[in-house]
Amino acid sequence: MGNKKILVVEDNPKSMRLIKFLLKHKDYHILEATEGLAALEIALAQQPDLIVMDIQLPGMSGLEVTIQLRNKKEFEKTPIIALTAYAMKGEQDKFLQAGCSDYISKPIDTRVLPLKIEYWLNVTENDND
Ligand code: MN
């Protein structure tokens, strides 16, 4: 089956470090992007199994990246978990409408993030059976 590929899109180095730390003991292959256009390019080239997408990014926003990916056949079902700033609470319907599968509010709950990733990887896995 091979390790699951997870693309983490996050421009804040502290948050990026935290996410990688939380996933350290999992058998995931982690890809990283720190801005939207790079995220899009890496996603298209590497076809990750799941994407953790910070919404507030320099240049192209996480929402724009999500919309562009959802327009492509190979990304119709890829789980995309949005990371949203606390101030953006209440806008979460917008993220789901743009095609995000789920969202996590910042500050990141260190227990919830790994659980949500595992949950969404299982969802797609069962879907392919
Ligand atoms: Mn950000």
CA–centroid distance, 1 to ligand 1, in Å, is 32
Express the helix, strand and coil content of the chain in percent, nearest 5 each.
45, 20, 35
CA–centroid distance, 34 to ligand 1, in Å, is 8
Q: What is the pLDDT along the chain (129 residues), one digit of tens a residue?
A: 569 999 999 999 999 999 999 999 999 999 999 999 999 999 999 999 999 999 999 999 999 999 999 999 999 999 999 999 866 667 888 889 999 999 999 999 999 999 999 999 999 887 755
pTM of the model: 0.94
CA–centroid distance, 74 to ligand 1, in Å, is 26
Give me the pLDDT at residue 90, please.
72
Give me the pLDDT at residue 128, please.
58
CA–centroid distance, 129 to ligand 1, in Å, is 35
CA–centroid distance, 47 to ligand 1, in Å, is 22
Run of H or E residues at 51:
strand 50-54
Give me the pLDDT at residue 1, please.
56
CA–centroid distance, 100 to ligand 1, in Å, is 16
CA–centroid distance, 111 to ligand 1, in Å, is 20
Residue 9 phi, psi (nearest 5):
-110, 110
